[in-house]
Amino acid sequence: MKNLSVFLIACLFSLGLCISGLVAPRKVLAFLDLLGAWDPSLIFTMGGGLVVAAVSYFATRNRAASLLGEPMQIPSNSTIDARLIGGSLLFGAGWGLAGVCPGPAIVNLGFLSGPAAVFVVAMMIGMALYELSNRVAAARRSITVDA
């Protein structure tokens, strides 16, 4: 039940990415091209998504468990640190370079796109590299503490 709900929700999300145009690099790059022939369409996607998501968030924020009985897992961290800023700056550069972010990249895999496969493999390598650097940093910290 829990996984079926996740699957159907992801299908809905996937269709949203397709219909909005977020799945098309041309559309995203035209949205990010502020000083060229600017296509502001995706502002409506962000606006529509934000309003619907905000209503649901504020309606559910006092719940202890989800409707399917799972714990509500909402981030509570509120510190703006160098990791958040640096990571987001890098992410934006990659987004602007190809015009795809993680969701649309995976949706494009479903369209059997070769370039999307290259992008997703590189993205997984990037994620694994971060995971690795994080573990190395944690290991270093524990060595310093032990010493």
Site for other proteins in 62-91 (CB under 8 A): 65-68, 70-75, 77-80, 83-91
Q: Which residue matches tokens 């971060």?
A: 130
Site for other proteins in 5-64 (CB under 8 A): 5-27, 29-30, 32-58, 60-61
By CB under 8 A, the count of residues binding other proteins is 117
Task: Give the chain's end-to-end CA distance (angstroms, integer).
Answer: 49
Count of residues for the chain? 147
- Burial class (CB within 10 angstroms; exposed 0-12, middle 13-18, buried 19+) of 95: middle
Sign of CA dihedral 24, 27, 32, 36: positive
We find the least distance from the C-beta atom of residue 141 to other proteins, in angstroms, to be 17
Q: Which of residues 103-142 bind other proteins (CB under 8 A)?
A: 103, 105-113, 115-116, 118-131
59/147 with CB nearer other proteins: 59
